[in-house]
Structure 1
Amino acid sequence: MKTLLLPALVSLACQALAQGVATEAQFTPVIVAGQSIRSGLPATLAGSTVGTSALQLRAQNLVNPEDALAYAPNTTLRKRYIGDRNALIAGRSFGTLQPSRGLVYLDGYLISNFLGRFDAPRWNMISPEALERVDMFFGPYSALFPGNSIGTTVAVTQRVPKRLEVSGRLTAFSQTLAPYGQRDRFGGGQASLHAGTRLDSGMWIVGDFNHQSSTSQPMQYHTVVANAAGVFPTVTGPATRVTGIVYDRDPKGLRRAAFGANAGAIEHAVQDTLNLRAGLDLTPTLVASGMASWWQVDAQARNETWLRDASGQAVWSGLVTDGANRFDIPLASFAPATRQETHQQLGATFKTRHGPGWNQSLVLSDYRILKDAARQASRPDPLASLGGAGTLTRRDGTGWNTAEVQASYTPVPGDWGDGRHALALGLHHNSYRLENRVNSMTAAEDWRGAEGTPSQFFGGRTEVMALYAQDVWDIAEDWKLTLGWRQERFKAFDGRQLGSGVTVNYDSRVLNGRSPKAALSWSPSDALLLKASLGRGVRFPNVEELYNGTVSATSQTLSDPTLKAETSDALELSAEQDWERQRLRLSLYWDDVRHAILRQSTPDAAVCKTTVTGAQTYTCVQNVERVKTQGVELVWSAEDLWVKGLHLSASAAYTFRSEVTANAKDPAMVGKWWLRVPRTRATLQASYRPDARWLYCVGWRHQGRAYADTYNLDIKPGVYGGVSRLNQLDVRGAYKFNRQIELALGINNLTGQQAYQSHPFPGRTAFVELRLER
């Protein structure tokens, strides 16, 4: 009894802040001799898993850490360009408009940002040189994870040195893109350095530094859409005669005019990451480790107008005509922007290692935005280069604290319960804080450096307290039953908005979530594993979804402080078969989500149910009453199957159904396909190492068409603003001159296919990489 009470008392005594922090019971890897194709996650974990080792990652063009997910099964990584700070994850039943359904952990520390839509996982805190392996698992089937696991959970493991090791990498990249006939080239470079050592005392120390300079392709364009009759909005008054207007059709098939890359479309960013880690044995049974990471970026965003007047001069704003149609281009449409950010993450882990029996762990982390200053001009270049009016958006001080305490029991043969139970008990509490302040500068000020006058604000805080327990029970030979329960209490408070000179304070809210879990697995043979996993996940709304209400010269955002939590009831049936050199998994899955939280951007004010018109885009958040998804997933991998040195992996997924089945607030959505969930996804990778010097690799990524419109009216997905099909071929070759030096050449999107997920994906991109190792 004392053994059971001790971890509980420690839990109750811990005054910590947490949300779904990983612990020892979650990410203790299973080592399988000679089987690098297996996941590094515990075999007892309910649901399906997949893993990729550092050696396998060397077989692809990996520049940023999130590239490790490029070939992940049934996964979309919306990485728009190299150095993108908004590389979002989408999975089986959710698209990139629901990023809070993706969990990402770095060495057990949460790096998913649940503060806002445009805050993807903080990939920047990971050094590409330090990657040891990346593991994924799907669905809300484990009580150890919070409700955000209703989608996909990613566990990134960084390398811990066994001896002195030093490595570095220099990479250069360049892409070509020709949307709207505007052919251009964009590129950059990266340098990474990794150094680590293990002392005779057992203490280990690691330092990683990464520097990157990159320029994106255009991300968005200023467009004007005609009505169903093909008539553009009426514009009166004297207009400048111009050339350069390009006409096409938008995703709904409506006639559209495009004028150039706008809204900070082309970004040049310089980013630096410093990551320090260390670990040591405090006692023979108590281990401590810690990390400290800093990331900063200095970004300049410019635009490009295609319009030229009779004298050949660029035209950025005002009334224009090409002789057939007249348009009014607002001053702010082609206004440049800058952004400077500095982020910090601190973490510490304490855990016991008694071997079998009871062990305890405590994981603490703090993520803080030390500086975030986004400056936006109100006029286009060249006027903006002279200063003048603009806005400054600051999020300094925003961040979250995390901590979790857990006790886990590993069976000892002949011990309690005859060694048939593996237990995990835990407690966590979180605190998330968001402050988004907008200051306005007048024409007499300089948007590039002035602080301006406060004009808008939104922010607030959320907390989650959770208790959970899980038991993995060997009910009979070759049979395991997993039972779990997670009880969560969510609180939102200090919500506030300032707009149009009026401040609105929101009342505190409390929501409760109960998440039962159950899984049954059977191993009829050593090579075959059958699983049935059932679980509920409750994903609470984030601060931005509740309280955002910002308005700019071209956009309007509408939040909903009364949002309900989205609840997923999920079921998966899977079969895994191992042979001597290959592995196959087949999974059938069902996902039933009630009160799904959807955040979407649209040029149609009617979609967001607002009477305020005049903006180019409207963004709104709403609960969708019920969404159901069913699909099948196949994952296969092999090593040395036909030829020694040949590694193969493939995946294919087919979604039978992903649609809105009920929505009383907007019945027109019922029966429509869920946004950004494609019917098909597939990947194929092959790498061949004929000897110790040469490596040849090829990869293929496929994604079927998906919908970007709530009512599935986008009949032309393969254009800007749509969600198009993707079929891209990647190649790579590497040569080791000796044990220390390797040179690699690669090309992503070899055929130059143009694809879109609202924004354009990169064109054909070439890589040159020099790797040095000691």
Structure 2
Amino acid sequence: MFPFHVRLHALALACAATCLPLAHAQGVATDNELAPVVVTGSKGTARSGLPAGLPGSTATKTFDQLRDQNLVNPEDALQYQPNTTVRKRYIGDRNALVAGRSFGTLQPSRALVYLDGYLISNFLGRFDAPRWNMISPEAIERVDMLYGPYSALLPGNSMGTTVAVSQRAPKGLEVSGRVIAARQSFDQYGHKDHYDAQQMSLHLGQRLDTGLWFSGDVNHQDSTSQPMQYGTGLANASGVFVPPTNPSPTAVTPVTGVVYDTDPKGLKRAIFGANAGAIDQTVQDTVNLRAGYRFTPTVEGSVMASWWGNQSKTRNVTFLRDANGDPVWKGDVSHNGNIFRIVDSSFAPSTRDESHQQLGATVKTRNASGWNGSMVISDYRILNDEARQASQPDPVALSSGGSSGTLTRRDGTGWNTFEVQGTWTPSAGDWTDGRHALAFGLHRNAYKLDNTVADTTNWRQGEGTLSQYYRGKTEVIALYAQDAWRLQDDLKLTLGWREEQFRALDGRQFALNQAEVYPRRTLRGHSPKAALAWSVRDDLILKLSAGRGVRFPNVEELYNGTVTSTARTFSDPDLRAETSDAVELSAEKTWDAQRLRVSLFHEDVKDAILRQSTTDATVCKTNTVALNYTCVQNVDRVKTSGIEFAWQAQDLFIRGLSLDTTLAFTHAKVAANAKDPTSVGKWWLRVPKERATVQAGYQLNADWRFSAGYRHEGRAYNDVYNLDINPHVYGGVSSVNQLDLRGSHQMTRQLELALGVNNALDARAYQSHPYPGRTLFAELRFKL
């Protein structure tokens, strides 16, 4: 009997041989499943969405709908999607993580993100968010969301949320672009400042009579963040700040400027300033080239090439001043009888220089019925990633003498994907009487991570001496099949199965002069799917969906063992895959100009993978002494239940008024955890108890449009034992209540001016890091 992976590779070759003559980015099966439909009511009002028979609940935002919000970065398109969190901390954030129904931003690998069918999900590490930077904001045509692991066509990471971003292909000659300027006001701990951002983008496209089309997009952005984190000193349970070990009385500097508050767990805390590279200035450039050609009336192909570059530098702000009023950046200091030690690296700056590349190609057939096939390949590669960290505070690090530091490289890291799909679509009078529609395929993705750290005598230059690294590869090969069986004209049963094999290999780790080499591992996943859709009437659809999703651990969760002067990271090479068994009952009702969806959902996740950061060594089950710890663990069982509402209305009360509202209530708790019984019964981390959005748009006339949006997220927890009783401070996960406004004026047929504000009431909110304060926008858009 051949090994499973050998049989899968043989099947891949057979499937490729079958599909190549027909041959796809999204695959023909995925195309069919995600093909938008337009429904027009009796009043002539049209809405665009995904097919009602799709397994699981869906949501859509089109380009026109997205113009009702202040969309600067691509991930902003998700801000008003049902039951969704985007942890975008500032304009230009490279770590805008996605969270959904049953998972928080500590489990980013439960979200799939595709751009024109190409995978841009970065399953390499905890804070490696989807590569939103590869998307051209000016070219976005629509954003579709799919909830839950109900489609056999999607990998196990779809157990949370799948985001499909589509960029428009030109219909003729297209030239458009925009210029955006933004200013944020931010005030915390007595430090107040403004932080600016600018963005310019240009889109060019052309479709020729020969069937060839091509487009190019460029985007340039320069932005500066508000402070992301603060240097702190924590009192004990009695409210006493324990002095550092052996402070020298002659070396203790009396200071002013220490700010006191209460931390998320209710302990007294001292704040010394914005530290650890708190304020990030980032300059980013994206180039996105695409082309397609219809070889015959039924065979077409397309290619894409994208590049993204980032140069960022960080700085810090100390609140401390000595008797002469000069800033104090390090050493032992005293304030109000308390003595604190500010380590040398606390206010150290950093820089990062990186360039990424993505290449992709697809070929597919477009027969109206019968057999179709497709093939898609893509490769995402980090060409250069150089992160330099100083070991001394700003004044020393930036002086002519400089300081020592570290250099972290991730050059060559990336992933590649390969997928072949086939479909058979019935036609009237065929042997199945037109009642079966088949889809099948083979999928492979492979991830490689190479993270090295070197000690440098000059933090701004040189390669230094290798001091630690972690490396590894993962691979998933999957076979899947799905059948949409129309039992009756008003009743459709979709059955699917996905078989996956996971391999982890070449795992290596080196730190503190100790090297580890990890053996290969192989895991398997079996994912049955089923969905029953009943069209009770033309305007009412009931749907029952059930499915399993298997999410395998990523390279960093398996092999990261990073050591710094203040922190330790503990990975687990024996992590098990997390398995989600989910069920959903939904009803969707449409009227002439309204649409309402109600969904009840339940999810049972076994071996949930949790990666958390803490100052408590007992959480990570270690005796190692450090200021901060990060560890990854399997949690035996987490159960989540909830209800979700999504309501859309057009021409509501008065002509030109549209309304889009969402509301969700969620109950997510740890149901079993033999290794840590104290966590049982506690709320799962960073999943809000409720989420709600309201977005209203008003088209006054052909030239003027106004919109307002309100975003709310309720109570969530950032501590595995739910001890964070004071979430509305730095370090906590607070509720969110923010009002956004926008108005636009079509000055000429070619020019449009828009003014807007996000967080108009300047409400504070935290996802551990502080969210932005009030931010003003001015946008000038042109279209020829």
Q: Given the two structures, how large is their TM-score scaled by the length of structure 2?
A: 0.95
Q: Does 1:293 align with 2:299?
A: no
Distance 2:109 2:697 in 1: 34
Distance 1:669 1:129 in 2: 45
Q: 1:38 to 1:560 in 2, by over 3 A?
A: farther
Give the counterpart letter for 1:323 in structure 2. Answer: N
Match of residue 248 from structure 2: 237
8 Å contact kept, 2:37–2:50: no
SS at 2:178 equivalent: strand
Corresponding residue to 2:218 among 205, 209, 216: 209
Q: Does 1:622 align with 2:625?
A: no
Q: Deviations over 1:243-275 (max 9, x none)?
A: 010000000000000100111110000000000
Post-superposition shift, 1:8? 7.5
Post-superposition shift, 1:10? 4.4
Pairs within 5 Å for 1:507-656: 507-615=519-627, 617-655=628-666
Match of residue 708 from structure 1: 718
Q: Tell which deviates more after alignment, 41-50 or 464-473.
A: 41-50
Distance 2:61 2:629 in 1: 39
Post-superposition shift, 1:21? 7.2
SS at 2:40 equivalent: coil
Q: 1:619 to 1:37 in 2, by over 3 A?
A: farther
Corresponding residue to 1:753 among 763, 773, 780: 763
Post-superposition shift, 1:643? 1.6
8 Å contact kept, 1:38–1:50: no
Give the counterpart letter for 1:365 in structure 2. Answer: S
SS at 2:710 equivalent: strand
Pairs within 5 Å for 1:360-509: 360-385=373-398, 386-441=401-456, 445-509=457-521
Q: Deviations over 1:696-731 (max 9, x none)?
A: 000000000100000000000100000001110000
Pairs within 5 Å for 1:271-350: 271-350=284-363
- Identical-residue share of aligned pairs (%): 63
8 Å contact kept, 2:39–2:47: no
8 Å contact kept, 2:152–2:496: yes
Match of residue 27 from structure 1: 31
Q: Deviations over 1:379-412 (max 9, x none)?
A: 1121101322100000000001111000011221
8 Å contact kept, 2:19–2:375: no
Q: Does 1:110 align with 2:119?
A: yes
8 Å contact kept, 1:22–1:110: no
Distance 1:282 1:10 in 2: 24
Distance 1:322 1:234 in 2: 11
Q: Does 1:659 align with 2:669?
A: yes
Corresponding residue to 2:84 among 75, 88, 108: 75
SS at 1:412 equivalent: coil
SS at 1:696 equivalent: strand
Distance 1:233 1:548 in 2: 32
Post-superposition shift, 1:614? 2.7
Match of residue 3 from structure 1: none
Q: Does 1:693 align with 2:703?
A: yes
Post-superposition shift, 1:674? 0.2
Q: Deviations over 1:730-760 (max 9, x none)?
A: 0000001111001100000000001000000
8 Å contact kept, 1:267–1:299: yes
Q: Deviations over 1:58-117 (max 9, x none)?
A: 111000000000111100110000000000000000000000000000000000000111
Match of residue 88 from structure 1: 97
Give the counterpart letter for 2:392 in structure 1. Answer: R
Post-superposition shift, 1:679? 0.5
Q: Deviations over 1:587-607 (max 9, x none)?
A: 000000000000111111221
SS at 1:369 equivalent: strand
8 Å contact kept, 1:7–1:406: no
Q: List gaps (5 residues or longer) in structure 1.
A: 1-5
Distance 1:460 1:39 in 2: 43
Post-superposition shift, 1:468? 0.3
Distance 2:541 2:750 in 1: 41
Distance 1:201 1:749 in 2: 49
SS at 1:331 equivalent: coil
RMSD over aligned Cα atoms: 1.6
Give the counterpart letter for 1:553 in structure 2. Answer: S
Give the counterpart letter for 1:108 in structure 2. Answer: G
Distance 2:46 2:325 in 1: 60
Give the counterpart letter for 1:132 in structure 2. Answer: E
8 Å contact kept, 1:37–1:583: no
8 Å contact kept, 1:515–1:538: yes
Match of residue 6 from structure 2: none
Post-superposition shift, 1:14? 9.4
Q: Does 1:765 align with 2:754?
A: no
Q: List gaps (5 residues or longer) in structure 2.
A: 1-9
Give the counterpart letter for 1:77 in structure 2. Answer: V
8 Å contact kept, 1:38–1:51: no
Give the counterpart letter for 1:146 in structure 2. Answer: P
Distance 2:283 2:77 in 1: 22
Give the counterpart letter for 2:161 in structure 1. Answer: T
Distance 2:618 2:318 in 1: 30
8 Å contact kept, 1:359–1:407: yes
Pairs within 5 Å for 1:258-269: 258-269=271-282
SS at 1:46 equivalent: coil
Distance 2:493 2:594 in 1: 27
Post-superposition shift, 1:37? 7.1
Match of residue 161 from structure 2: 152
SS at 1:228 equivalent: coil
Post-superposition shift, 1:316? 0.5
Corresponding residue to 1:719 among 722, 729, 733: 729
Give the counterpart letter for 1:639 in structure 2. Answer: Q
Give the counterpart letter for 2:410 in structure 1. Answer: R
Post-superposition shift, 1:501? 1.3
Post-superposition shift, 1:324? 1.8
Q: Does 1:676 align with 2:676?
A: no
Corresponding residue to 1:176 among 185, 198, 202: 185
SS at 2:109 equivalent: helix
SS at 1:77 equivalent: strand
Distance 2:619 2:585 in 1: 37
8 Å contact kept, 1:678–1:706: yes
Distance 1:529 1:452 in 2: 63
Match of residue 140 from structure 2: 131
Figure out how many residues of one structure are paired with residues of the other and give that number. Answer: 761
SS at 1:397 equivalent: coil
Q: Does 1:732 align with 2:742?
A: yes
8 Å contact kept, 2:40–2:47: no
Corresponding residue to 1:66 among 58, 68, 75: 75
Q: 1:421 to 1:8 in 2, by over 3 A?
A: farther
SS at 1:383 equivalent: helix
8 Å contact kept, 2:39–2:46: no
Distance 2:193 2:782 in 1: 32
Q: Deviations over 1:291-337 (max 9, x none)?
A: 10000000001111000101111111000001320000100110000
8 Å contact kept, 1:27–1:41: no
